[in-house]
Structure 1
Amino acid sequence: MRTRLRRIAAVAAALPLFLLSGPPAAPPAEASTGDGRYAGLDAYVRDRMRATGTPGLAYAVVGPDGPIHSRAWGTDGRGGPVTADTPFLWGSVAKPVAASSVLVLAQEGRLGLEDPVTDHLPDFRFGGPGHASRVTVGHLLAQTAGIPASATFAVADCLGPDCPGPAERIGALDDVRPLGPPGTAYAYTSANYLVLAAVVESATGRPFADHLEETVLEPAGLPGAIADRASAAERGLAPGHQPMWGVPAPIADGVDDDGAAYGYLGGDLDDLAAFAAFQLRSGRTAGGEAVLAPESVRLMRTEGELAPSGEGTGYGLGWRVGGLDAPLDGAIWHTGASPGYSAMMFLLPEQGTALVLQQNLHGLLQDGAVMEAGFGAARILAGGSAPAGAPSAAGYHAAVWGCTALAAALALAAVRSALPLRRPAPAASRRRRAAGAALHVLPGAVPCAALAAAAARMGPGPLAAWLPDTALALCLAAAAGAALIAVGLVRAFRPGPGTGRAGAR
């Protein structure tokens, strides 16, 4: 929490610079391979980059042998040019990578998809002993363990140096209410994959990142991928950008040391393309050696395979399956984001190609607008056309500027209400004083209640990590509201004429 407070203070100190700097313009291309066949694709991605003010972006069209066409534009969080060698974080694109590593363990017989999680983690008590004992490894992979989406914030995004490991974090799920019996309700949450990391560490006796590198990253051709804080530092990962009142600011520089299973995996464009090519080869190395068995590949790409209904989840084992309009209705895909970074991967098995795209910008309330670059590009690659419109960021602007305006209005009201305190209190009835206090307390309580509700839903740390400007504006509004309440109470209860010692005659 202390780290979060320091981060908010730094953001507040730098706020004038962010507001005066204006959105960056997309600079000329820094790196490219390919030919003119993809000019339309390049133009679309560049347009989306400009529309969102994305500082840096890299994307590639990939075949089974690697990149066919690639482009990189813009600058990183330290002002350097983005190239194919610039590392990014991939967010939840980590999930199909992590799922691949679990399937390798299952193929080796070191764990089973039907194994109860409690066989590997006796302290796993999500939903109580009766529920926890029925949750299997497969349920976690398929996002059908019954863990609600809101549980993500209870266990994920621990960015400090002293964060507990996966096995220690799962205790936060003990009192979470399940959505239903295991296997009956789908809910996408990174909590499932944090628990999977703990299962893998129990089964192998090694850190998850080490197991991931040996079983998937190295065979797939990305041995230098970022999987923890040490590898992020080694690769020179620059801070990602988050919107600060609409202006991208390079303030996101945290990595969850134990988050490689659910969202803190990354690397450069060639790394991301290498995993896509590995998947297009159906889990085989560039030399033809099988890492994933055909049945493992099938399970990963089959919607609802481990749910009793067998349908309706839109998820396989680590992959999103279908759920998109034609021509992407046959795509195997995943998107991902971590604070300041976003990435997308679309496999088009029928045409033997894939599209990967990574950006050093993400805002939780701008997710649709930022991610549209990948969805639109994938549609074009699949033979369709880009959507006529793009998701709006109006909700984001309403939230951050609404909270900012509220903070300013309440601060002004508190100052104006405090000015009469320099003069003696006028005579007033008890009812009039109570009414005056209510006029201060009720509007002042609104942002305080909103901040408490937001912190309760997400937790103070994730709230500051994912919504830095909105969280700061809401904190300022709550502080101004508390000041208004305090002034109102002082005005209501300070002695007036005819009261106190001076008036006792």
Structure 2
Amino acid sequence: MPSTLRRVAAAVAALLLVLLSSVTASAAPRAPVPADRLAAMDAYVRERMQATRTPGLAYAVVDPDGPVHARSWGTDGNGRPVTDATPFLWGSVAKPIAAGAVMTLVQNGRLRLDDRVVDHLPAFRFGGHDHAGRVTVRHLLQQTAGIPESATFAVADCVDADCPDALGRLAALDDVRPLGPPGTTYAYTSANYLVLAALVESVTGRPFADHLRDSVLRPSGMDGAIADRASARARNLPPGHQLLWGVPSAIVDGVDDAGAAYGYTGGDLKDLAAFAALQLRDGKTADGGTVLTPASVSLMRQPGRLRPSGTDTGYGNGTGYGLGWRVGGLEPPLDTAVWHTGATPGYSAMIFVLPERDLALVLQQNLHGLLHDGAVMQVGFGAARILAGGVAGDAPSAAVYHATVWGLTALAVVLLAETLPAYRLLRRGAAPRRLAPSVLWSLAGAAPVVTLVAALALVGSRALWTWAPDAFTALCAAAVAGSAVTTLRGVAAHRRTGRSPGRQ
């Protein structure tokens, strides 16, 4: 009996020691981020702002209790100083937030991840009856429904007052050819999340923005978040900036009322930091409530069966896609990061969650353009690497942007200048002495015409104007001037070749 009692006492003592150690560990203060590392981040972010001519930016380092370091610099689209209360749009950072709103329906049993989309949304006919009938909620969340990336341009970025709602845009996908059977091919496209918005509206009977606010935004402490045109007006959302021939211009002003699920969610730095803190608390609210269960948070961070190449981001190879999150795929020390970037015309944002360090970084800026995406977005990747104890790395060049815009502009000017001598030649009734120059000028004039037609067929005029206004304007000018030169030179060349040998 005494030996038995001793064994029981030893076991109880060991248990108490484990519990005491656990309590002590949980009560221990977190190690602060070294001051020199925060200073290095500040310096790097300021340097990148200057390099990219970003007008305004705000970023924060976040732990489970909220921001531990926050900075705001520059001006907004109305010329006012940027602060932690300045609203921005977050682009595709909306996707993990929207995925969380979907998961709340899964948690309360109103939806299952393996439900067929058509069972909740009969209007979904992408790829025909057979294909659409096999697409599940999980496929949409993981970007494996077979919808190609180009479908984004057919359904997204409609900011006019008369734009159809999410359900009304589904028909644009009916004739789109699937990339493969559902679940077999990864392709990142906002179209997946627009379909999710329509599905949530069908399940809840409410606008997606309302469900998003009640299920995720308000419980997470994102009280000032933007989810539709009305909330953007209430927050006095300033216009964002795009480069026009290299000069940041506050020309972008609009919100897609049906876009909260894929890109048109936003808010100030405190709102985005609150979402990051929610992730570090495994879905718990600041007061101990539950937005997402730990099981949901874990599931959302598991990459799908496929390992996408990462070519859709240009930021890393082997990036997995979970339920709304990018997982891994970055060079150490960010190889275990759970992250997402996003952009709407004129705005960009990013979030990096570092679970092993119990830290996150959020950053938002009021500049973006499709042709210089890498250069603009590097600020977040570099700052996150510094936060994780690494070095920022080399920044991508904006050479593609400058070469495209200025090359098309130069071509437009040259072709426009050539229209006058070509017109004079035709008006005099004279035929060119040699055919070679006319052939070369005609080819030069036809090139921008062919390019414009191909671009319009691929993405459409709205997308071109929305994402690359200066390049699109220069291309249109070059195409008009090129058409004139090709026509004038062609008629003149025809006049020469049409003459008989006796008249030459």
Q: TM-score range by the shorter chain?
A: 0.7 to 0.9
| In structure 2, distance between residues paired with 1:496 and 1:185 | 54
CA deviations on 1:204-258 (whole Å, 9 max, x unpaired) are 1111000000000000001221111111111111111101111111111121111
1:385 to 384, 391, 395: 391
Q: Which residue of 1 aligns with 2:459?
A: 458
Kindly report which structure 2 residues correspond to 1:265-304, keeping only aligned pairs within 5 A, or say none.
Answer: 265-304=265-304
Q: Is 1:413 the equivalent of 2:418?
A: yes
| Ranges of 4+ aligned residues in structure 1 off by more than 4 Å | 34-37, 305-308, 432-440, 492-499
Aligned equivalents of 2:349 and 2:421: distance in 1? 48
Against the structure 1 CA distance between its residues 443 and 294, is the aligned structure 2 distance closer, same or farther, given a 3 Å change threshold?
Answer: same
Match of 2:402 in 1: 397
Alignment pair present for 1:225 and 2:230: no
- AA aligned opposite 2:391: S
Give structure 2 stretches of 5+ with no counterpart: 1-33, 309-316
8 A Cα contact 1:106 1:112, kept in partner:
yes
CA distance in structure 1 between the aligned counterparts of 2:464 and 2:362, rounded to whole angstroms: 28
Aligned counterpart, 2:430: 426
Amino acid at match of 1:426: A
Q: Indicate the RMSD between aligned Cα atoms, in angstroms.
A: 2.4
Change (3 A) 1:112 1:412: same
- Do the aligned partners of 1:153 and 1:459 also contact (CA within 8 Å) in 2? yes
Q: What is the identity percentage for the equivalent residue pairs of Structure 1 and Structure 2?
A: 66
3-state SS in 2 of match to 1:350 = helix
Q: Which amino acid aligns with 2:417?
A: L
Q: Quote the Cα distance in structure 2 between the aligned partners of 1:375 and 1:439.
A: 45
Describe the SS at the equivalent of 2:219: helix
Distance 1:243 1:292 in 2: 39
Q: TM-score, normalised by structure 1?
A: 0.87
Question: Which amino acid counterpart does residue 481 of structure 2 have in structure 1?
Answer: A
- Which string of whole-angstrom CA distances, capped at 9 and with x for unpartnered residues, describes residues 312-356 of structure 1? 661110000001111111111000000000001000111111000
What is the distance in 2 between the residues matched to 1:297 and 1:497? 75
Task: Report Cα offsets for 1:270-304 as digits up to 9, x if no partner.
Answer: 00101001111111111111111222111100011
Separation of aligned partners in 2, 1:497 and 1:194: 58
* Residue 469 of structure 2 corresponds to residue 468 of structure 1: yes
CA distance in 1: counterparts of 2:499 and 2:451, whole angstroms: 40
Q: Counterparts of 1:497 and 1:108 in 2: how far apart (Å)? A: 79
Q: Distance in 2 between matches of 1:126 and 1:497?
A: 53
- Please report how far the alpha carbon of residue 468 of structure 1 lies from its aligned counterpart in structure 2 after TM superposition: 0.6
Contact between 1:101 and 1:216, CA under 8 Å: does it hold in 2?
yes
Asked whether the equivalents of residues 224 and 268 of structure 2 are also in contact (C-alpha less than 8 Å), the reply is no
Q: Deviations over 1:408-446 (max 9, x none)?
A: 1111111121123442x1368xxx898786455332211
Contact 2:56–2:73, Cα closer than 8 Å, also in 1: yes
Q: Verify the 8 A CA contact 1:139 1:306 in the aligned structure 2.
A: no
Amino acid at match of 1:114: D
User: Matched residue of 1:357: which SS?
Assistant: strand
Correspondence for 1:368 among 364, 374, 381: 374
1:145 pairs with 2:168: no
Q: Find the counterpart in structure 1 of residue 154 from structure 2.
A: 154
3-state DSSP of counterpart to 1:291: coil
Provide the residue aligned with 1:91 in structure 2. 91
1-side partners of 2:152 and 2:339: how far apart? Answer: 21
Q: Is the 8 A contact 2:306 2:320 kept in 1?
A: no
Task: List per-residue Cα deviations over 1:5-61 (Å, max 9, x = no partner).
Answer: xxxxxxxxxxxxxxxxxxxxxxxxxxxxx9766111111111111111110000000
Q: Where does residue 200 of structure 1 map in the other structure? A: 200
- The letter of the residue matching 1:327 is P
CA deviation vs aligned residue, 1:380-406 (integer Å, no higher than 9, x gap): 11111111x210111111110110111
Tell me how far 1:486 sits from its aligned partner: 2.9
- Which amino acid is 1:322 matched to? G
Amino acid at match of 1:413: E
Aligned 8 A contact 1:142 1:306 in 2: no
**Structure 1, unaligned runs of 5 or more:** 1-33
Distance 2:430 2:383 in 1: 68
Q: Secondary structure at the match of 2:352?
A: strand
Partners of 1:191 and 1:268 in 2: CA distance: 26
Size of the alignment, in residue pairs? 460
How far apart, CA to CA, are the structure 2 residues paired with 1:346 and 1:127?
A: 35
CA shift for structure 1 position 363:
1.2
Q: TM-score, structure 2 length as denominator?
A: 0.87
Which residue of structure 2 aligns with residue 22 of structure 1?
none
State the shift of 1:455 in Å.
1.4
Q: Which stretch shows the higher mean deviation, 252-261 or 439-448?
A: 439-448
1:438-486 residue CA offsets vs partner (Å, 9 max, x unmatched):
4553322110110111111111101100001100110110111111123
Contact persistence 1:427–1:497 (CA under 8 A): no
Partners in 2 of 1:305 and 1:492 — Cα distance?
60
1:342 equivalent in alignment to 2:348: yes
Partners in 2 of 1:406 and 1:72 — Cα distance? 40
Q: Is 1:246 aligned to residue 250 of structure 2?
A: no
SS at structure 2 position matched to 1:62: strand
1:17 matched residue in structure 2: none
Distance 1:201 1:470 in 2: 37
Give the letter for the 1:177 counterpart: R
Residue 419 of structure 1 aligns to which amino acid in structure 2?
A: R
The separation in 2 between residues aligned to 1:158 and 1:312, in whole angstroms, is 32
Q: 1:332 aligns with which of 326, 335, 338?
A: 338
Q: Secondary structure at the match of 1:367?
A: helix
Contact 1:183 1:307 in 2 (8 A): no
Match of 2:135 in 1: 135
Is 1:60 the counterpart of 2:66 in the alignment?
no
Match of 1:16 in 2: none
CA distance in 1, matches of 2:207, 2:387: 38
Which residue pairs with 1:446 in the alignment? 447
Q: In structure 1, the residue corresponding to 2:340 is in which secondary structure?
A: strand
